[in-house]
Amino acid sequence: MKKIITYKICLHVGLTSFIFLSAGCQSAYYKTMEAFGKHKRDILVGRVENARDAQEETKQQFQTALEKFTSVVKVPGSELKTKYEQLKSELDKSEARAGDVSKRIADVESVAGALFKEWQNELDQYSNRELRRSSEQKLKQTQGRYEQLIGAMKQAERKIEPVLAAFRDQVLFLKHNLNAQAVASLQGELVSIESNVASLIKEMDASIAEANAFISTMASEQ
């Protein structure tokens, strides 16, 4: 019992230390970047660009994967093994792209949180009320645009997993059923998969448009 309690305490201390170290590393990173003239605002714009590009690449990857899935229902049974290997490859690529999108969104959230916290704290440093009011208004406007952007990004992100789940099911089923029955099953699910991919692409396009609008607005305010 004592060993279990000790383990839990150590685990808690370890996780807490990791969080503080991570926060410390981020703080050191931002300070280093500022020393080179790149502030949190610039980093945020850069990370939004990265997230946008990752979503664009993911959209294209899922379109390619869908084309591969569609092609399976048109091949003779003798070619199914080759098609399975192609589908598995496309699934792996799609999962990797999905992971990249999630990471890029997390990066955006991280620097945005640091930027808005710093901005809010610095409002108290103003001695001129008009300048403080102007800065506070600009902060609220930027936060509003950011919330709209991150909402669109997360909405698109949520559409990814249902598509991946459908792809995984079909690849797994085809792996163990390389025959005409498997092809018939794929054909039956194809309409649903196409609908899910179309919905995903629609959300991705909306998110990409929000990212472009955010980047453009931030650039015009510099």
- Residue-wise pLDDT tens digits, 212-221: 999 999 988 7
33 and 53 fall within a common domain: no
Split into its structural domains, the chain has a count of 2
104 and 201 fall within a common domain: yes
31 and 77 fall within a common domain: no
Q: Which two tokens stand for residue 187?
A: 């054909």
91 and 133 fall within a common domain: yes
167 and 192 fall within a common domain: yes
148 and 138 fall within a common domain: yes
Rounded CA-CA distance 120/220 in Å is 22
Using 50, 70 and 90 to split pLDDT, how confident is the model at 193? confident
With H, G, I as helix, E, B as strand and everything else as coil, classify residue 207. Answer: helix
* Residue 108 CA: distances (Å) to CA of 12, 115, 190, 213: 27, 11, 34, 15
Its pTM stands at 0.81
171 and 75 fall within a common domain: yes
13 and 87 fall within a common domain: no
59 and 21 fall within a common domain: no
What are 113-136's pLDDT values in tens digits?
Answer: 999 999 999 999 999 999 999 999
150 and 211 fall within a common domain: yes
Rounded CA-CA distance 149/208 in Å is 9
pLDDT of amino acid 95:
96
Helices (H) and strands (E) in the chain, counts: 5, 0
Q: 198 lies in which domain range?
A: 39-220
48 and 107 fall within a common domain: yes
What are 61-106's pLDDT values in tens digits?
Answer: 999 999 988 887 666 656 778 888 888 999 999 999 999 999 999 9
32 and 59 fall within a common domain: no
